[in-house]
Each structure stands twice: as structure tokens, then as C-alpha cells.
Amino acid sequence: MIPGVAADFSQDTFVTYLVKAVLIIVFLLTSVLVAIWFERRVVARMQVRPGPNVHGPFGLLQSLADAMKLLLKEDVNVTAADRIVYLLAPMVSVFCSLLVFAVVPFGPEVTIPFTDFTTPAQLTDFPVAVLYVLACASLGVYGIVLGGWSSGSTYPLLGSVRSTAQVISYELAMGLSLVSVFILAGSMSTSTIVEGQQSIWFFLPLLPAFVVYVISMIGETNRLPFDLPEAEGELVSGYMTEYSSMKFAWFFLAEYINMLNVSAIATTLFLGGWRAPWPLSAVGDGVLNTGWWPILWFLAKVWLLMFVFVWVRGTLLRLRYDQFMVFGWKVLIPVALAWVVVLAVVQWFRLDAGVSRTVLVAVILGVGLAAVALVSLWPDRRRSPEHDDAGPGSEAGTAPSSAPGTVDAFAGGYPVPPLPGQSLPPSPRAGRRPVEHVPAGGAGPDTPHDDVEEGAR
């Protein structure tokens, strides 16, 4: 037994390691093929079209056909590229993404059929397993940044620096959200963390951290709505523009494996890992939490998160780059930091000060409700001066579009940018005020004159 690790690997031999390692790679490759098909089908359903449905049942062989096609394509080496780095970058990318699953527990101890050989359904585990996961994820950035840089072309370079800034920013938020898991579990070993979720899955007590993790995992994997490194409209295909054949396939594969990686880590750290969901976990004194069943629950949870990825992609639009970075630095990181402080203080009260859990929950709920009440009762600064203006002279309030200095943004049905000295009327949605319908140009001939006077006063 390794100290600080719940799973027992003492029976494993070198052959077991090799078999498990090959199984992990095979699992990842097939999962990626299924994931690509799954994504295309689900997005197609969301956009009311059939999606790939020709090759094989339900089009299941479509991604296999794509992979074969990529393998048989010409391997183009761009003349401007830095040859060695250009060749290494996709390999680094896929290599790092394949390593994460080494510490992901698929299940508890399983017995190989027809033998009495028992082994954990996990390649390995050590006391700093999650740190290892983060290290692999960070090294994956090298593939992206070197691939973009070495292509010797403008679009990949821009895509790769964007991607680097994005991934490191969101990695911070991700790392901070994991701190609270370590506080509750008291360990960084994945099997111990799953062991610690016996009574309750961590996503419930750690809901803010879970939300931060889910957002940052989408940013970390460069997926829509955060896929700015490959924004097609701006950067062609981002850092993979100059790549073809299997080198392109490796980047593509790495992206999908990374999706599986972050989903599996989210499952392990927040969603109870291989544990059966609540009503099923009570069946037959927890029989569904033993043997081969847990692998089913684990895969179900991973694919639920994969569906969330696709769902978000089918629903949200791509963010602008500045909005995206500001969101990461000014919202996610402060929220994650504040949550760590709150959780640490609450845990201290629980463990050392001896405050019972009921009292703590009541106090937290009270503080939360008070905060919500305070926020909702806070006077809206944007609304109040408007009401003061609109009080006596109602014409100024009803026809703001024709006042000097403002511009009718939809004159003649086309969006019109404001000229210098003009400012846009406030959006009807800002501050959720009731929409005032202003007929464009529908005011009488006297009204503009009145408004000029109103404005001059």
C-alpha cells in the first residue's frame, strides 16, 4: 500500500501496468471517435438537421472514415516552418493529453473474470495525483504555442499566443476551484478523494467551486464559447492552420482527449467518481458500488459532462477576446479565491471550534439570504436619475431619440453608428427597465423643437 492512497496496487505487476496502459489508450481513442460522432449528431439535432447518418448504423463509422482519410492525406511541411519544432508540436500535444487518465479511477477493485486476480480499475495513484493531472494539462500548452510559433505564418502565431494566454488564465481559476476539494478530502490522491465522497458528492457542498471548474474547463479546452484560438472568422483555424494529415489529426485528437480529461477529473473530484447516483447506491446494500458496475456510472457521468460541452457549444455564441479575458481575471479568479477563504473559515469552525453542522448550515443560509436581500434591495443607480428627469417634462422621457447628441440607432431599419458628438440611447435591456416603444421618426414636427429646448434648459 502506498501511504495516503486509498486504492491498493500491491498485486499489480509490470504486465498489469502494460495491459492497463494499452487499455487506457484504446479507450481514449475509441471515445474520441464516438465523441466526434456524438458532438456532430447532437449539434445537428439542436440545429434541426440530421447530422452524419450515412456510414454505419446512425452514422457511427463517420469519424472512423474521417480518421482514415486524414491518415491517407499528404503530409505537407511548410517551407517557412521551423522543421523540428513544427514536427514535434502535435506529438507533444497528444502525448500530454494521453497521460492524464493514468490517475483517473474508473472503479474500485475489480476481479478479472475466470481468475481470482483483483486489481483497482485504475492505472496508478499517488499522493499528488491531481497535481500530476494539472502538470500534464499545463505541458499540453507547449504543443499549442510551439505549433503556432513554428508554423512561420501569421494566423497560427496569433492563435497560439491567444490560446496560451487563455489557457493559463483559466488554469488559475481551475486550480483555485480544486483547492476546496483538497480541503474537504484532505488529500490529492484521486482514489482517496472518491473515497471521501461516500456520504455526499463534493459538487453539492462545493457548488461555487464546481461552477467555476465547469466554466474554466470549457475555457481550458478551447471549446465554444471560448474557442478564440481557432475563431474561424478571424484566424482561419488558429494554431493548426498550417498542419495537415496526421499532424492535424493529433491536434484534433488532443482537443477531444482534453475534453474527456477535464470531464473525467470533474467526475472524480466533484461528481463522486465511480459511485452510483443516489437511488441506485442504496439498492441491495451498495451492491451497485462494487465489481464492474462502477465503470458504468463513471462513464455515464463523463458522457453527461461531454453532453454539457456540446450543449454549451450549440447554445452560446463565441465571446469577444477582451470580454473573455476580463471574465476570467475579474470574475472567475476573485470568485474562486473568495470561495476558498469562505470554505476555509467554515471548515475551521466545524473542525476546531466544534460548531455543529446544523448550526453552520443555518448560519450560512442566513448570511446567503441576507446577502441576496441586500443586493435586491440596493437602489439601482442607473434607474434613479432617469425617473427624476422623466417626472415633470414627460416629453423628454418619451422621445429621447430625437434629442440632440443622441442618435436613432435604427433609422430606416438599418443599424446606424453614432457620429462624433452623438451617443447611443441606452439599451432598453440595460437595468431591466420596462421597454419604452419609440417610433422612429414618428414624432410630430413640433416635438424636436421642444426637445431642443428641453435639452437647453
Partner 1 sequence: MTNPYVPVLVLMAVAAVLALGGVAASAVIGPKRYNRAKLEAYECGIQPTPQATGGGRLPVKYYLVAMTFIVFDIEVVFLYPWAVSFAWLAGFGLVAMLVFLALITVPFVYEWRRGGFDWV
Kindly identify the residues of this chain, within the stretch 96-115, that bind partner 1 according to CB under 8 A: 98-99, 102
On the CB side of 73, CA atoms within 13 Å amount to: 16
Choosing from 287, 300, 316, 326, the residue that interacts with partner 1 (CB under 8 A) is 326
Triad 347, 350, 352: Cα angle to 5°: 95
Among 27, 303, 307, 329, binds partner 1 (CB under 8 A): 329
Q: Which of 44, 87, 280, 312 binds partner 1 (CB under 8 A)?
A: 87
Closer CB to partner 1, residue 5 or residue 276? 5
Which of 139, 179, 296, 390 touches partner 1 by CB under 8 A?
Answer: 179
Residue with cell string 422621445:
399
Contact pick of 39, 66, 125, 220 for partner 1 (by CB under 8 A): 125
Distance (Å) of CA 227 to CA 26, 239, 443: 27, 12, 45
Q: Tell the smallest beta-carbon distance from residue 175 to partner 1 (Å).
A: 4
Nearer to partner 1, 127 or 448 (CB): 127
Q: Is 80 in the site for partner 1 (CB under 8 A)?
A: yes
- Indicate whether 263 belongs to the interface with partner 1 (CB under 8 A): no
CA torsion sign for 40, 317, 169, 247 is: positive
Among 31, 62, 119, 151, binds partner 1 (CB under 8 A): 151
Q: For residue 124, state whether it binds partner 1 (rule: CB under 8 A).
A: yes
Contacts of residue 425, Cβ cutoff 8 Å, sequence gap at least 6: 400, 401, 406, 407, 408, 409, 438
Q: Which amino acid is at 17?
A: Y
215 versus 399: smaller Cβ distance to partner 1? 215
Q: How far is the CB of 322 from partner 1 (least distance, A)?
A: 3
- Binding to partner 1, residues 283-322 (CB under 8 A): 321-322
**DSSP class of 328:** I
From 48-56, 288-296, 299-307, 327-335, give the range in contact with partner 1 by CB under 8 A.
Answer: 327-335
DSSP SS3 for 431 = helix
Residues 335-354 interacting with partner 1 (rule: CB under 8 A): 337, 340-341, 344-345, 347-348, 351-352
Q: Does 146 bind partner 1 (CB under 8 A)?
A: no
- Residue 355 sits in the site that holds partner 1 (CB under 8 A): no
Task: Kindly tell me which of 74 and 446 has the beta carbon lying closer to partner 1.
Answer: 74
Please say which residue, 162 or 313, places its beta carbon nearer to partner 1.
Answer: 162
Of 47, 79, 199, 376, which one interacts with partner 1 (CB under 8 A)?
79
Q: State the Cα–Cα distance between residues 219 and 145, nearest whole angstrom.
A: 16
Q: How far is the CB of 394 from partner 1 (least distance, A)?
A: 38
The footprint of partner 1 on residues 197-256 (CB under 8 A) is 236, 241-242, 245-247, 249-250
Q: How far apart are CA 258 and CA 32, in angstroms?
A: 10
From the number of C-beta atoms within 10 Å of its C-beta (0-12, 13-18, 19+), residue 130 rates as buried
Nearest to 185 by CA among 246, 268, 101, 119: 268
- Contacts with partner 1: how many residues (CB under 8 A)? 89
Exactly one of 10, 115, 358, 376 binds partner 1 (CB under 8 A); that residue is 10
User: Which secondary structure element, helix H or strand E, spans residue 118, and what is its range?
Assistant: strand 118-120
Under rule CB under 8 A, which residues in 157-176 are in contact with partner 1? 157, 161, 164-165, 168-169, 171-172, 175-176
User: By C-beta, is 31 or 164 nearer to partner 1?
Assistant: 164
**Phi/psi at 110 (nearest 5 deg)?**
-120, 150
Minimum CB separation of residue 238 from partner 1 in Å reads: 12
Cell of 419: 457620429
Q: Quickly list DSSP for 337-393.
A: HHHHHHHHHHHHHHHTS---HHHHHHHHHHHHHHHHHHHHHS--TTTHHHHHHHTT-
- Cα distance between residue 113 and residue 359, in whole Å: 49
